[in-house]
Amino acid sequence: MRPNVLARTLVGLTAVAALAAGSLATAGTSFAASAPATQAVSAPAATLSTENFGLTTAEAKNVQTFLAGDWDYTGKIDGQLGTESWKAFQRCFKKYWGYTDAIDGDPGPNTIMALQRLLKDDYGYTGKIDGIAGSGTRAAFKRFAA
């Protein structure tokens, strides 16, 4: 009976050790494999995500058509206001609505303030020029895009 208990214990310890070694090997492989994937995702930092500020695809296409006609937008008319769309807008804002930052395609607070100045002049925006794309900014932007 004693040799049976000893054999079972050895088999059990071997199984635990094998599982632990396999888990460590998998964890190491998993860790090593995930690092390049993270780098690959962050590599195209120049491309920003789409920011339509509540516009439908059709409305955003109208905006892109306007930008293509007057502000050197050469991207696709796809209804997705991405980096190139916002760069074209920033060129417009720089000329007429007091935008002084870089033409980087990032619709940050200064870009939104310039958009609000445009919308205040002709599209019924009555809110503060605060750089926050709230409901009033979005509603006026929809009027602009219509």
| Dihedral angle sign, alpha carbons of residues 69, 74, 78, 81 | negative
With CA atoms as reference, report the closest residue to 116 among 137, 135, 96, 145: 137
Could you count the other beta carbons within 10 Å of the beta carbon of residue 110?
17
Quote the pLDDT of residue 48. 57
Quote the pLDDT of residue 65. 96
How far apart are alpha carbons 129 and 115 in whole angstroms?
A: 9
- Per-residue pLDDT band at 121 (split at 50, 70, 90): confident
Quote the pLDDT of residue 45. 43
pLDDT in tens, 9-36: 444 544 444 444 454 444 444 444 454 4
Could you count the other beta carbons within 10 Å of the beta carbon of residue 91?
17
Helix (H) or strand (E) holding 8: helix 2-42
pLDDT in tens, 24-77: 444 444 444 454 444 444 444 455 578 999 999 999 999 999 999 989 999 999
Range 102-108 average pLDDT: 94
What are the structural domain ranges in the chain? 1-43, 57-145
**Tokens 């930092």 found at:** 45
How far apart are alpha carbons 32 and 29 in whole angstroms?
A: 5
DSSP tag of 50: P
